[in-house]
Amino acid sequence: MVYHEKKLAVSGLMTGASPGQPPTGMQKPMKETAILLISCPDQKGLVAAIANFLHEHDANILHADQHQDAELELFLMRVEWEMADFGLPVPEFSHAFAPLAERFRMDWRLSLSSYRPRMAVFVSRYDHCLADLLYRHQSGELHCEIPIIISNHEDTQWLADAYGLPFQHIHVHKDSKAEAEKMQLALLHHHRVDFLVLARYMQVLSPEFIRHYPHRIINIHHSFLPAFNGAKPYHRAFERGVKLIGATSHYVTEVLDDGPIIEQDVTRVSHRYAIEDLIQKGADLEKVVLSRAVKWHIESRILLYANKTVVFD
């Protein structure tokens, strides 16, 4: 089972920028839309049933994408419609949709574009991914809240300050990791965080920690997985003499660097690149690969099955 019905995001949480902070960017006023993600066994009549349900309630469909996995006989769908003239009040959706969902044994999730998911960012010393996420958030590209940035170092405090966002330093020592994670979890809970982004966070999270946020922790790994999983991928890429370096964003599971891949990209290198050059050129990849994953997650474009992702972009 992939998707479970989630408490609906009805209440808007529009926290404005504090005075004296950077402007909130060029966010155009967006139409409010609803996004329904569905995953169920494939069978005839499925599309007709869903389309009829939406039509009965007067939905004006803006986007619809579907995918069938022939081997697993699985049906996956993302459909987005305007809320303006939708005939079904959001609190009643669950009840109204239930018969259909049961008949086709659907896992489903509804989200509203007006809701800005609450994202926590974990970071260590490398700050390029953090700087990139904060800029994209500020410019309106990432439609989310950032209630908290957590780091095991103090180096990136200045960036959080520059963007007027809360920063919490939690020291992590190998002997006190469990305690540190307890503090982190308390903080995440306090801030009602929906999902986490590890923006080059250099600590391995414990399975216990991960279980609190199943498929809701996004990591960026600085290689083209499954090549060079684990530590020091640029050094190993250099040694192996590869002609392209890569970056991979994925959901974190209990097996290191093995979770479902969300996005990957590569860039060309040559013998003229020293390790420092790989690291610098790779940083540009990491930024775009991570930010795409975060954006797709926020916009409910990702469906999961068989330790893989379907991205309806």
Min dist CB 186 to its own copies, Å, is 29
Q: Minimal distance in Å, beta carbon 188 to its own copies?
A: 27
Joined together, the tokens standing for residue 37 give 């993600």
The beta strand positions in the chain, using DSSP E, are 33-41, 60-69, 74-82, 107-112, 118-123, 145-151, 167-169, 195-198, 217-221, 244-251, 261-268, 302-305, 308-311
- CA nearest neighbour of 59 among 30, 97, 21: 97
Q: Does 246 bind its own copies (CB under 8 A)?
A: yes
Q: Does 174 bind its own copies (CB under 8 A)?
A: no
Window 147-166: residues binding its own copies (CB under 8 A) = 155, 158-159, 162-163
**What is the distance, to the nearest Å, from the Cα of residue 138 to the centroid of all Cα atoms in its chain?**
17
Q: Which of 55, 169, 189, 190 contacts its own copies by CB under 8 A?
A: 55
Bridge-based pairing of strands 167-169 and 195-198 is unpaired
Nearer to its own copies, 178 or 274 (CB): 274
Query: Any catalytic annotation for residue 257?
Result: yes
User: Residue 121: which of 186, 220, 197 has the closest Cα?
Assistant: 197
User: 């060029």: which residue's tokens?
Assistant: 26
**Binding region for its own copies (CB under 8 A) out of 1-9, 91-99, 183-191, 235-243:** 235-243
Binding to its own copies by residue 128, rule CB under 8 A? yes
Q: Which is nearer to its own copies, 126 or 213 (CB)?
A: 126
The answer to whether the CB of 164 falls within 8 A of the CB of 18 is yes
CA 82 → CA 15, 56, 61, 62, 89, distances in Å? 23, 14, 7, 7, 13
Asked if 142 and 298 touch (Cβ cutoff 8 Å), the reply is yes
Give the C-alpha separation, 187 to 181, whole Å. Answer: 10
Asked if 51 interacts with its own copies (CB under 8 A), we say yes
With CB under 8 A as the contact rule, which of the stretches 7-15, 21-29, 109-117, 212-220 interacts with its own copies? 21-29
- The residue among 186, 50, 202, 73 whose CA lies nearest residue 125 is 202
Residue among 13, 62, 98, 255 that touches its own copies (CB under 8 A): 62
List 85, 257, 277, 284, catalytic entry: 257
Q: Is 122 in the site for its own copies (CB under 8 A)?
A: no
Shorter beta-carbon distance to its own copies: residue 209 or 312: 312
Q: Which residues bind its own copies (CB under 8 A)?
A: 21-23, 28, 44-45, 47-48, 51-52, 54-55, 58-68, 70, 127-128, 131, 135, 139, 141, 155, 158-159, 162-163, 224-228, 240-244, 246, 260-261, 263-266, 268, 270-272, 274, 276, 280, 284, 288, 306-311, 313
Active site positions, annotated: 257
